[in-house]
Amino acid sequence: MRFHRLTAVLLAGLLFTCPVAPVHAQTDTDPGAPAASSSAGNAEQGQPPEQAPADEAATEGESSTPAVSPAIVLAEQNLAAAEADMTRLRERVEENSENDAELVDLKLESEALARSMLEIGVSLRPRLTEIKARSEQLGPPPGEGEPAEPEALAAERARLAEERAAINALTGRAETVSVRASETGDEISALRRDLFARTLFKRTEIGPGLMSEAMLALEEEVSQAQRTFGSWLRFIWSFKWQALMAWIFLSLLAALILIPGAYRLFGGLINRNPYDEDPPYTSRLSVAFWSTVIPSVAMAALAFIVYMLLDSLSLLRRDVAPVISAVLAALAGVYFVNKLARAILAPKMPAWRLVNLSNAGARLLFPLVVALVVVNALDFVLSSVSQTLNSPVVLTVAKGFVSVMIMALILIGMAAGKPMLAASGDPADSGQRWPRLISATLVIAGIGLIVTALFGYIGLSRFVATQIVVTGAILTTMYIGYISGKAISAPEAFAHTAVGRWLETRYGLGAVSLDQAGLAAGLLINLLVLMLGLPLILLQWGFQIQDIELWFYRLVTDIRIGGITISLVGIMVGVLLFMVGLVVTRWFQQWLDGSVMSRGRLDTGVRNSIKTGIGYLGVAIAGLIGVMAAGIDLSSLALVAGALSLGIGFGLQNIVSNFVSGLILLVERPFKVGDWVSTSTTEGFVKRISVRATEIETFTRQSIIVPNSELINSPVGNWTHRNKLGRVDVPIGVSYDTDPRRLVDLLTEIARGHELVLRNPEPVVHFSGFGESSLDFVLKCHVADVLDGITVRTELSIRVLERLREENIEIPFPQRDLNIKIGENGEALGVIAEKVAGAPAGPPKTARSKPAAGRQAGAGEPSKPARRSRRTKQKADSIEPDTGEGDR
């Protein structure tokens, strides 16, 4: 409720544990041996022969089933013990209605008792299932007018009904105990709230009489403290000085390891560079946060170790232990606030200051903040001493009144200063006053504490003062941590930090990897802030560690949304198992591909299909295991499956079609990864085959994603389906004066001379026909890899051209005769353009055109474009005028 709420968490090293322990441990007791039935044999002898097998089965079933199930006996014992515990729990709640710490423990017991009732119901469920199954085997009892069943069957039916009734009764009793435990827990919560409110708003008359009584009580307390602690010190020095020396040595050793060790390990995070005159804001935030958290955690761990050493060496006495723990907690708290104030104000390093304060203002505020927490810590320690020595309440009230007044005056003194940065922006200049909002808040807080204390509400004023100091420090640290995480996770910010530069140097991370690492670091910092800050604030506001443990246990195991119960632990376990399944699947894929299939010299496409199938199978199994481990009932997904089936029928049929087509492609393997395929829309190499689509990379390095259903339902050409053998065709046209047989020999020789052309099948030359200007041949040869076809065709074409030039064999070109008709007035009436393809252009035909066959040219005639130009010119010069008798 006051500063002492920080004691437990600081001495525990800011670590919490969740008590998950049943109220009673189950015992392995054997309730008895199975009871044998002697009447079964007599009944069997008195029955007709056709009924003997049924009676024998009934006799065997009865003799193999115990008279009373061990699960029922054990549940009865646990339930009786739980009912007795429930009665004692109610009595203890009434006895400790004014003890908050004891009420917290009773609250935990009630919660554990309610959970144990659920365990009883779960333990009886298998036996109830067996009874139902056996009853179904026996069938319904004979109706009216039907023959009576054997006595053994009737006896077993009655026994099963009796056990079923006993299980139902036990379940009802367990539910009653669970309801009573839940009601007791709610009652305990209400008692704690009332106790907290009464303690907080208890009023005491403040006057001269109170102070005089407090002075007398103080003298008595001082003398009693001298006797108590003096006797303890003399006893230790006289009889346990070896243990005292060991405690001193081990404590100093722990201090040397923790405090300097923290600076040595995390020096890059918490040390400020005094020569850096303008550090980045992210660096200032990061240093402020870590320079507060890391040394404070080390100090809390040291305080915890010192206390545990005292206890383990038997140096503590029951009346001294609370005071020692209070002193250690106060020291840790003062150290924490001192580090926080130094990190924010930086009185000696203005460049690292987080707030806009002048140097004089920072040097003024720092001691005031430390004095505020020191006064609060002294009040906490003195209150612990008074409680240990059973001092009068008036002394505790007087101490609280004095500490509240001092803290109020410190707050008012803070408001009266001029700590803000000057208008010039130079921290060395004289500062300005606080903004009105801040100064008014400080003044109102100080005056409010004084007024509250003067009216006698010492408990309320002490609580508020403690929250101003401790909760304010925690919230400030959380805020610094939050903005630090936000600044570090900003784009390209993590790369400029010391950790980012180290990661870049050590592991060679790129900009994208560092940016992702910064995002993860920011999320981790925010999670750390929440995990450390929220429990500390709850402890300050009157909650106990047991409350936080209980809430945490419920949060991770029992989140109820309507009728659905979600367990974060189960979900995390499911996700972890799913990730483990993925890792195992990937490892198995790599091992199978690299160690098994590679040695078997399997085809690349076969290996890829097997790897893909194993990958999908592994993901499915890992997902199923993860869902089951998360506690999700697969039977509850029937409605979702029905809705999914309906969706498949309407909107998802294409996706399902592609999925099934992908499975067919992986199994049938009409093409595989690396094949050269051509479809109706694209042509290229197969890069990847998935269950929805296939990736084809074209010759221009463009990736085309083709749905699998198109590859199944449409023709697909595969140049490398069975093998990579392919044919190369090189078309050639020569003049009509060329000897065809000589040309066939030349082309065959050229093809055989290429190193990539196969000798079997032999290259051949086909005479394809008589062209308008040339004799057309086709050189056909085969290559071992069709992917080399373009290279071979290009090389063969070049070699053919070079060889034909050497042999003076002409490669003709298309030729056209141009006739132009001239009218009476001398104007051109029509033009036929000479084209290589022979197609006319311009107005309707008014002239004749006939091909100039290759046979009209002599072997020695030129075959150049100049020849065509010269012939065209000669034709144009020989044009005659139109005589009106028609075309010439």
Alpha-carbon span 731 to 779, nearest angstrom: 6
Q: What are phi and psi of 678, to 5 degrees?
A: -135, 130
pLDDT of residue 776: 92
Across the strands, what pairs with 789?
A: none
For the stretch 771-813, pLDDT in tens is 888 899 999 999 988 888 888 999 999 999 999 999 888 888 7
Instruction: Give per-residue pLDDT as tens, 738-781.
Output: 899 999 999 999 999 898 899 888 999 999 999 888 899 999 99
Query: What proportions of the chain, in percent to the nearest 5, are helix, strand and coil?
Result: 65, 5, 30
Residue 300's pLDDT band, with cuts at 50, 70 and 90, is: very high
The pLDDT tens digits for 542-591 are: 677 766 776 777 776 666 665 566 677 777 888 888 889 889 998 998 88
- At 767, list the tokens: 């005479």
Span 443-459, pLDDT tens digits: 999 999 999 988 888 88
pTM of the model: 0.55
Strand partners, 55: none
The pLDDT of residue 356 is 87
Q: What local confidence, expressed as pLDDT, does residue 884 receive?
A: 39
Residues 6 or more apart from 589 whose CB is under 8 A from it?
A: 611, 614, 615, 618
Q: What are the tens digits of pLDDT across the range 604-629? A: 666 777 887 788 888 888 888 888 77
Nearest to 767 by CA among 749, 782, 745: 745
Q: Which residues lie below 8 Å from residue 705, measured CB to CB, with a gap of 6+?
A: 693, 694, 695, 696
Instruction: Report the mean per-residue pLDDT for the chain.
Output: 78
Residue-level pLDDT at 639: 57
pLDDT in tens, 130-170: 888 888 888 888 877 778 888 888 888 888 888 888 888 88
Share of residues in the chain with pLDDT > 90 (%):
15
pLDDT digits (tens, 9 = 90+) for 384-438: 898 888 888 888 888 889 999 999 999 999 888 888 988 888 888 888 888 888 8
From the list 306, 272, 277, the residue with the least C-alpha distance to 292 is: 272
The Cα 336–Cα 363 span in angstroms is 18
Radius of gyration over every alpha carbon of the chain, rounded to an integer in angstroms: 48
User: What pLDDT was estimated at residue 638?
Assistant: 60
Q: How many CA atoms lie within 13 A of 457 on its CB side?
A: 15
The mean pLDDT of 634-643, rounded to a whole number, is 60
Sheet-wide strand order for 764-770: 726-734, 775-783, 764-770
> CA 328, CA 311: separation in Å to the nearest integer?
14
* Other C-beta atoms lying within 10 Å of the C-beta of residue 748: 16
| Cβ 340 vs Cβ 376: under 8 Å | no
Distance CA 364, CA 213 (A): 37
Contact 289, 477 (CB under 8 A): yes
Give the pLDDT of residue 874.
41
Instruction: Answer for the pair 95, 152: CB distance below 8 angstroms, yes or no.
Output: no
For the chain, percent of residues with pLDDT exceeding 70: 79
Whether residue 361 is predicted with pLDDT greater than 70 in this model: the reply is: yes
Band of residue 35 on the pLDDT scale cut at 50, 70, 90? very low
Which among 439, 389, 393 is positioned nearest to 413, based on CA atoms? Answer: 439
User: Whole-angstrom Cα distance, residue 80 to residue 704?
Assistant: 73
Q: Which pLDDT tens digit goes with each residue over 312-353?
A: 998 988 889 999 999 999 999 999 999 999 989 988 888 888
What does the longest C-alpha to C-alpha distance in the chain come to? 154
Model confidence at 199: pLDDT above 80 = no
Amino acid in the structure at residue 658? N
Position 54 scores a pLDDT of 40
CA dihedral 121→126→128→134, nearest 10 degrees, is: 180
Token pair of 618 as six digits = 């592994």
CA distance 510 to 495: 9
CA gap 155, 794 in Å, rounded: 98
Q: Give the separation between CA 209 and CA 397, rounded to whole angstroms.
A: 13
